[in-house]
Structure 1
Amino acid sequence: MIGFVLGTSEGKEILSLMNEFTEDIVVSTATKYGGDLLKDYKINYINSEPLDKKGFIELIRRFSINIFVDASHPYAKEVSNTVMEACEESDINYVRYERKSFLKDMNIEGKVIKIEDYNQLKDVLKDIDGVVLNTTGSNNVKAIMDLNLKNRVIHRILPSSIILKKVIDDGIDIGDIIAAKGPFGYHFNEGIIKEYDIKALITKDSGIEGGLKDKIEAAFNNNVHVIVIERPKIDYGITFDDIKDLVTYLKDKFK
């Protein structure tokens, strides 16, 4: 049995290719919504709730999983660490799938401002006047708000009633919220930049699949500073950034 943690848009493609040769698959997602998106695939079992290390170990034992593929989001550091620890304690193989870095592929690293965490934002923005667009997600809104920046910050978040309530309860003005589900194309990003007169954009290196290419190009073409929160630096061991290569490896492993 092969286990998967799926937290990115590539999950469907991975399962589609896996189903060409096996149904011996167990999937874990962090939400019911994520699990519902995968219902049409041939899967032995879907867990649609967040798991701690104990939960992953129980899942591994229950279904006799002998390899676990971590295809969680590039920034889901805690999830990856938890799965790695569960695999180590269960004495099974851990394999990482992580989408390619757009910054490295497009050779634009020198054109963006890279920071390791949100605490460095204040220092970066001290010399940048004007409105800032935060596209790093609702989980980071509070961290940015706590910096007490001099800039007005517009937060682009998912259009979920739960998320909207949370950020408003945290003190974000409703006029500083754009609730929409991406990934977004070039013209959508450019429209927001022009409408709000954005001077700086905060993003993650979420890869082309996450809409980063269009986002950065819209920013560059409108003289907007691009600030990138770098990916966590983790030694995953066996790692793939190509889905077909991953599936070929798994197929060969379980001939």
Structure 2
Amino acid sequence: MKQVWLIGGTQESASIAEKLVANSWPCVVTVTTQSAIALYPDSDLITVKVGALSREEMERLIETKNIDRIVDASHPYAVEISESAIALSQQFHLPYLRYERPQVTEPDNQQVITLDSFKTLINGDYLTQQRVLLTVGYKALPQFQSWHEQATLFARILPSVLSVEKALAAGFTQKQLIALRPPVSYQLEKALCEQWEISLIVSKASGKAGGEDTKKAVAKALNIPLILIRRPEVVYPQKTDKLENVVNFCHE
């Protein structure tokens, strides 16, 4: 039986899986964390595979699971996964579709500063003497290690052992961390900023699903800057921001 390879781990990928099940389309979902399994419907049509895959493991998955097409609904900043999936789609001559979260646009919000990369942020003077809330994921935290003496850094991370361990290794103390699973409400995000007396928020431009609109609203309410790191540039063969287009793609 032909199957869709759904590269998941996001809430949007869970919505895609639900739609595929509703249309009786079998799929193999790959996620990197055990906790992500709970996102997906309990169905005989879905197989969820947990753990980071090497290129060889991806090739084996395509061959052994009779993959017919690839739907890439990974996180907007999971560049390596997307690039590997694109290369494999070309290698095996499989149709590929990227589901991309819609961008959040608020041109009137003067609190927002958009930068092209973490490198630009780290090498600039944006963080000096600021009380900074980082909502950028644990993988980015080591890049801020050199700033612990020049700024007061706090981080909101996922409630996982790995996230906490990586944050502590990056120089954050327990008092500088809070572990919460998104979505985080406006009230909670605002209260957290007030509790820590945050003067600057740093986040990724990860769309509404990533809480970008909430952070913009909090920054505006507290009259503090929000720095957004722009999404990486990836050349996708084809992409969409509409779930119905993904279903149509699977039925082509």
In percent, how many aligned pairs have the same letter?
A: 25
Are 1:53 and 1:83, in contact at CA under 8 Å, matched by a contact in 2?
no
Instruction: Structure 1: give runs of 5+ residues left out of the alignment.
Output: none
* Separation in structure 1 between the aligned mates of residue 245 and residue 107 of structure 2, nearest angstrom: 23
Are 1:131 and 1:154, in contact at CA under 8 Å, matched by a contact in 2?
yes
Query: What letter is aligned with 1:97?
Result: Y
- SS of 1:45 mapped into structure 2: strand
Matching of residues 31-110 of structure 1 within 5 Å: 31-38=33-40, 40-102=42-104, 104=105, 106-107=106-107
Q: Which residue of structure 2 aligns with residue 11 of structure 1?
A: 13
* Separation in structure 2 between the aligned mates of residue 47 and residue 135 of structure 1, nearest angstrom: 27
Cα distance 1:115–1:126, how it changes in 2: closer, same or farther (>3 A)?
closer
Query: What letter is aligned with 1:37?
Result: L
Are 2:215 and 2:226, in contact at CA under 8 Å, matched by a contact in 1?
no
Q: Which moved more, 1:233-242 or 1:165-174?
A: 165-174
So what's the TM-score if we normalise by structure 1?
0.90
Displacement, 1:46? 2.4
Q: Which residue of structure 1 aligns with residue 228 of structure 2?
A: 228
* Separation in structure 2 between the aligned mates of residue 45 and residue 182 of structure 1, nearest angstrom: 24
Could you report, residue by residue, the CA deviation over 1:90-143 in whole angstroms, capped at 9, with x for unpaired residues?
Answer: 1111110011111x3x33576521112222123544475430110011111111
Matching of residues 1-255 of structure 1 within 5 Å: 1-38=3-40, 40-102=42-104, 104=105, 106-107=106-107, 111-126=111-126, 129-147=129-147, 150-251=150-251, 253=252
* Separation in structure 2 between the aligned mates of residue 23 and residue 247 of structure 1, nearest angstrom: 9
* Separation in structure 1 between the aligned mates of residue 180 and residue 71 of structure 2, nearest angstrom: 30
Query: What letter is aligned with 1:58?
Result: R
Structure 1 vs Structure 2 CA RMSD: 2.0
- Structure 1 runs, 4 residues or longer, greater than 4 Å off: 108-111
Cα distance 1:184–1:244, how it changes in 2: closer, same or farther (>3 A)?
same
Are 2:122 and 2:143, in contact at CA under 8 Å, matched by a contact in 1?
no
Query: What letter is aligned with 1:61?
Result: E
Q: Which moved more, 1:2-11 or 1:27-36?
A: 27-36
Instruction: Structure 2: give runs of 5+ residues left out of the alignment.
Output: none
Cα distance 1:57–1:110, how it changes in 2: closer, same or farther (>3 A)?
farther
Are 2:20 and 2:26, in contact at CA under 8 Å, matched by a contact in 1?
no
Q: Which moved more, 1:23-32 or 1:224-233?
A: 23-32
Are 1:27 and 1:43, in contact at CA under 8 Å, matched by a contact in 2?
no
Displacement, 1:226? 0.8
Are 1:157 and 1:177, in contact at CA under 8 Å, matched by a contact in 2?
yes
Could you report, residue by residue, the CA deviation over 1:23-45 in whole angstroms, capped at 9, with x for unpaired residues?
Answer: 42121111222234325134353
Cα distance 1:12–1:127, how it changes in 2: closer, same or farther (>3 A)?
closer
Could you report, residue by residue, the CA deviation over 1:127-186 in whole angstroms, capped at 9, with x for unpaired residues?
Answer: 754301100111111111134561101111112233213322332121111121122111
* Separation in structure 2 between the aligned mates of residue 62 and residue 213 of structure 1, nearest angstrom: 41
* Separation in structure 2 between the aligned mates of residue 182 and residue 149 of structure 1, nearest angstrom: 29
So what's the TM-score if we normalise by structure 2?
0.91
Displacement, 1:211? 1.6
Displacement, 1:228? 0.5
